[in-house]
Amino acid sequence: MDITNLQQDLFAQIRTRAPENPPLAEIIAVLLDISTDSVYRWIRGEKQVTIDELYKLCLHFQISVDQLMHIPSKGVLFQGRYLDRNNFRFEDYMISLVKEMTQMNGFKGKTFYYSCKDIPIFHHFHFREIAAFKWFFWLKTYFQFPEFAKRKFRVEEYPDELYQLDHQAVHLYNQIPSVEIWNIESMNIIFRQIDFYREARVFESDKDVLKLYEVIESLWNYLEKQAALGYKFMVDDPNQTPMGSFSMYFNEVLLGDNNMLVVMDGAKLCYMTHSTINFMQTRDLAFCDNLYQHFQNQMKRSTLISEVSEKERSRFFRIIRDRILARKENLKV
């Protein structure tokens, strides 16, 4: 591969990774500390990219040099970082999530695919009680923050600044057309977490448990309404103003992961979750194409229950709603 072809391929990959605003030439000029005129000369092939510039561009836009140069490799490059109680701040986690979603919304054509082994993280943010519970569970049980060791769960202790970030994140997610593949087991994780805390007496009383189940029921009603309409809207919007399209699938076979795939103007970005809240991402072409095909196969083997298939949609939501109601009835309040 000669340098001209390499530069053309490099620019093509960069273009799929950057939104339209600000203009790509301005982003590159700032990154390389050069003029936009130099950038355009580089794009046109009139100026050769240096090794240092290639390094900076590949690092910033997360481009594999092996793939750029068509060097065969069986490895897959992922980016990410491990979160632990020594370096974890939930505020930073949410700020990073808002930043990621903001960048996705900068693309014209975009679709968010979500395999829902658990409630998708964005659906935690519709209601303060659910957001507070998941935050508390992660910090107390997963990260084992010392200051949470003897604390009981109280919704009012959830920081306002976090809930504001939650609202930003879900507002951004709601703008992106999405495909979510659900299963009747998708709610089991939060059910088990509530059971665990109830048995461990982390709740003040069953009244607090009842309130949490009532809010989960409200979330379930909200998701059913979105599925019926085929689009997303903010939960506190009485007019239900249409935002991104919402395609919900019911898969009767147990889903094995919480993987996410975003397609932005043709470019694919994959998020793999691990160790509860950790995630890593890759733009590896072969890996993302394989996951994209996996989603397509899952959709073919699932029932579309948004807008159509009213009978199947009603059955799916009734199964979960009955489980919520049974759990409410078993409480001692």
Give the other-Cβ count within 10 Å of 301's Cβ: 12
Q: Is the dihedral of CA 70, 9, 112, 177 positive or negative?
A: negative
Identify the pLDDT of residue 276: 65
Query: Can you tell me the distance from the alpha carbon of 200 to that of 45, in angstroms, rounded to the nearest whole number?
Result: 66
Query: Can you tell me the distance from the alpha carbon of 83 to that of 157, in angstroms, rounded to the nearest whole number?
Result: 23
Residue 1 reports pLDDT greater than 60:
no
Residues 6 or more apart in contact with residue 112 via CB below 8 angstroms: 104, 173, 176, 177, 178, 179, 260, 261, 262
Q: Which two tokens stand for residue 23?
A: 């203009």
CATH 1.10.260 residue ranges in the chain? Answer: 3-68
* Helix H or strand E encompassing 91: helix 90-104
In the chain, the percentage of residues whose pLDDT exceeds 90 is 53
CATH code of the region 3-68: 1.10.260
pLDDT (tens digit, 9 = 90+) per residue, 9-56? 777 777 766 666 677 778 888 888 888 888 888 777 778 877 888 778
pLDDT (tens digit, 9 = 90+) per residue, 199-239? 999 999 999 999 999 999 999 999 999 999 999 999 999 99
Residues 6 or more apart in contact with residue 327 via CB below 8 angstroms: 191, 194, 213
CB 131 within 8 A of CB 125: yes
CB 182 within 8 A of CB 312: no
Residues 6 or more apart in contact with residue 182 via CB below 8 angstroms: 116, 248, 249, 250, 251, 255, 316
SS3 for 67-81, per residue?
HHCCCCCCCCCCEEC
Task: Provide the residue type at 49 as one letter.
Answer: V
Q: Which two tokens stand for residue 204?
A: 């003040």
pTM over 0.75: yes
**Across all residues in the chain, what is the average pLDDT?**
87
Q: Which two tokens stand for residue 57?
A: 């561009």
Lowest mean pLDDT among 55-64, 152-161, 297-306: 55-64
Identify the pLDDT of residue 144: 87
Q: Is the dihedral of CA 269, 134, 81, 73 positive or negative?
A: negative
Residue 161 reports pLDDT greater than 70:
yes
In the chain, the percentage of residues whose pLDDT exceeds 70 is 88
**Helical pair 206-229 and 188-199, crossing angle rounded to 10 deg:** 170
Lowest mean pLDDT among 11-20, 179-188, 233-242, 276-285: 11-20
Contacts 24+ apart (CB under 8 A), 313-319: 313/224, 313/227, 313/228, 313/248, 313/250, 316/182, 316/184, 316/250, 317/220, 317/223, 317/224, 317/227, 319/184
Query: Would you give the distance in Å from CA 203 to the centre of its chain?
Result: 29
Collapsed DSSP state (helix, strand, coil) of residue 297: helix
Residues 6 or more apart in contact with residue 168 via CB below 8 angstroms: 98
Task: Provide the residue type at 178 as one letter.
Answer: S
Q: Which two tokens stand for residue 332?
A: 């001692």
Query: Can you tell me the distance from the alpha carbon of 172 to that of 99, in angstroms, rounded to the nearest whole number?
Result: 10
Query: Can you tell me the distance from the alpha carbon of 263 to that of 209, in angstroms, rounded to the nearest whole number?
Result: 39
Distances (CA, A) of 74 to 16, 77, 273, 284, 286: 23, 10, 21, 11, 10
